[in-house]
Amino acid sequence: MKKVITYGTYDLLHYGHIRLLERAKKLGDYLIVGVTADDFDKTRGKINVQQSLIDRVEAVRATGLADKIIVEEYEGQKIDDIKKYGIDIFTVGSDWKGKFDYLNEYCEVVYLDRTQGISSSEIRAQKRAISMGIVGDYAPVMNKFQSEDIYVNGIEIIGICTNNLEEMSDAIKNLSIVTNDYDVLLNNVESVYIRSNYNLHYEQIKKALNKGIHVLCESPICLNEDEQKELFEIAKKNNCILMEAIKTAYSTAYSRLLLLLKSGRIGRVISVDAICSSLLNRETTNINSFKDWGSTALLPVFQILGTDYREKRIISSFLNDNKNDAFTKVDFIYENAVASIKVAEKAKSEGELIITGTEGYIYVPAPWWKTDYFELRYENQTENKRYFYQLDGEGIRYELLTFVRSIQEKKNLSNISEEISYEICKLMSDFENGIDVIKI
């Protein structure tokens, strides 16, 4: 019996796929189809796949052409599969010509002509893209954010509102709408990404939501709890998505770390300690350690221990008139745990995250907020485990993808719950108003 194997993502199954499977089947007597797992696709840079693995497997099964379906999970698996199943022929479409010649050592390799004029990418792109405008003056962040747009189907950045066009990338300068008038931008887009001065957020978000425009806004969304509440209410009333942007929440390593904790791998969590620092050479009036770093550092505290703490204390070292903090430490006391964050823009420390448990701890080395790596550590070091996950675009592209899906599915799919958004806002507001703040 001649055994044939072929691999693919098979997202939104189309006649190009079916033609390929038909011809693959005709090459032998028994056809095995390998369908790529979501994680494997991610590491290959395919993050736009619309259907789940189960749906894609079902679609291939429904063609009736596969005698067996397997899942492709890791690099190098093809060789293992060929040996394991005693494969005679490996085949894929001609778009891969030459790429799999190395498999000739194990079986015959056949490239079949690709069907012209159709692909999953094109079908995905045909769904009309949601237009987006970006708002802000800080070029490094704006440039990075704009450049991530190409990885996400379903959204298209078409304009910018800024007062600092000179420092923006050429790609930004060439957007269709380039303006410093926020109203002009809002009149031409369906969604906005806001990375402006914190004091402008409330007005800018409110204006957008009142026009039915979806908003992705860098954290903290607001520095005042009542204002934030009002904004979420307007969003609900107008069927808009209002999503807080903290890219760390979308980094694969960080998300996996949270899942591992939930499965009890270090016992009960007793302490969360996060440090974020960047020594900045800015004017003193532009130093805002807590506002700039606080949300990121607070994220693991609230996501791991919740927001129901008993007490908190904010300790800050200010550069002038209680506004610009060089260094801030926040201590939390929970019923059965403690947490502490340290953030600084005029002091330097090791930017690590340590989660202490009753049976072991998790160590995330600096800079933990854009990490691709962490360790599970135990008393008995031979039980230690290391985890590595690719960090694509520092999490921004997954954040953008989540925003698009939220708009498409009309529900907030954010990794940051509304409750955590409120708690971050509350901390910011207390800091602004000097509540529970100790000056050093």
Footprint on this chain of ligand CTP (rule: CB under 6 A): 8-11, 16-17, 20, 92-93, 95, 114-115, 118-121
Residue 160 C-beta: closest distance to ligand CTP, Å: 29
Query: Closest CB to ligand CTP among 23 and 247?
Result: 23
Residue 125 C-beta: closest distance to ligand CTP, Å: 9
Query: Closest CB to ligand CTP among 41 and 325?
Result: 41
Residue 63 C-beta: closest distance to ligand CTP, Å: 12
Query: Closest CB to ligand CTP among 121 and 210?
Result: 121
Q: Measured between alpha carbons, how far is 374 from 363 in angstroms, rounded to an integer?
A: 6
Q: At 72, list the tokens.
A: 């492709």
Query: Closest CB to ligand CTP among 90 and 398?
Result: 90
Kindly give the pairing relationship between strand 155-161 and strand 130-136: parallel
Residue 22 C-beta: closest distance to ligand CTP, Å: 10
Query: Closest CB to ligand CTP among 63 and 143?
Result: 63
Using Cβ positions, the residue closest to ligand CTP within the complex turns out to be 93
Residue 67 C-beta: closest distance to ligand CTP, Å: 17
Residue 65 C-beta: closest distance to ligand CTP, Å: 12
Query: Closest CB to ligand CTP among 60 and 246?
Result: 60
Residue 122 C-beta: closest distance to ligand CTP, Å: 7
172: CB partners within 8 A, 6+ apart? 134, 142, 143, 146, 160, 165, 178
291: CB partners within 8 A, 6+ apart? 198, 220, 223, 428, 431
Query: Closest CB to ligand CTP among 17 and 346?
Result: 17
Closest C-alpha among 33, 11, 16 to residue 78: 33
